[in-house]
């Protein structure tokens, strides 16, 4: 097992434990940080929908603020924080759009109201009123009445392909453990310890 495979295996173990721990409402919640082409950052919480050796997958409206930023600057950072376990995982890397087939399959698995919302929401745009949004939802419901809701062309998945994964384990007195796996200039993955 190389260092990258070991990092993914460690994440799987930590994620599984977080998923099974009381007090963690949603182990898939992660902070996603993106930036504009000129480096202006923004962050928000999204949900991890899949991960494996290929990377970490989440879904969004491509016309949203994060979608526009990822189109202009396709690099991002993720942070998972599981407070009851005193654990944090940082992931950084390049982001790619997933295949249409992968996005279609995930979209088909979503609750119908979430599918409707993907069409109705002009995510990140100014909204005149809640009533205006409710009218948009009603219009989409009428459009798809009695039939499956197809995936909007502007909605889909993103895969962050890591070039760094850092594991932080909290300890008393802030004497934490920090370990980082990263892709070196040689292309090989290294594993190092960091001061807390």
Catalytic residue numbers read 174
132, 52 contact by CB (below 8 A): no
- Name beta bridge partners: 41: 35
Instruction: Single out the residue of 183, 162, 160, 181 nearest to residue 48, CA to CA.
Output: 160
- Please state whether beta strands 177-183 and 155-169 pair in parallel, antiparallel, or not at all (unpaired): antiparallel
How far apart (Å, rounded) are the C-alpha atoms in residues 42 and 32? 8
51, 68 contact by CB (below 8 A): no
- Provide the angle, in degrees to the nearest 10, between the axes of the packed helices 130-143 and 112-120: 120
74, 95 contact by CB (below 8 A): yes
């Amino acid at each position: 097992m190389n260092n990258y495979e070991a990092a993914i295996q460690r994440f799987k173990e930590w994620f599984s434990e977080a998923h099974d721990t009381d007090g963690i409402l949603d182990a898939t919640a992660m902070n996603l940080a993106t930036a504009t082409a000129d480096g202006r950052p923004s962050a928000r919480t999204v949900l991890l929908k899949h991960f494996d050796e290929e990377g970490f997958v989440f879904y969004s409206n491509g016309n949203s603020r994060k979608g526009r930023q990822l189109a202009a600057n396709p690099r991002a950072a993720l942070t998972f924080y599981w407070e009851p376990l005193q654990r944090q995982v940082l992931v950084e890397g390049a982001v790619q759009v997933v295949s249409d087939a992968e996005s279609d399959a995930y979209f088909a698995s979503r609750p119908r109201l979430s599918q409707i919302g993907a069409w109705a929401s002009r995510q990140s745009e100014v909204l005149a009123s809640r009533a205006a949004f409710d009218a948009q939802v009603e219009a989409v419901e009428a459009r798809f009445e009695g039939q499956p809701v197809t995936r909007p062309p502007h909605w889909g998945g993103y895969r962050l392909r890591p070039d760094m994964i850092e594991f932080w384990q909290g300890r008393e007195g802030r004497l934490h453990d920090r370990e980082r796996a990263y892709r070196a200039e040689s292309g090989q993955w290294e594993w190092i310890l960091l001061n807390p």
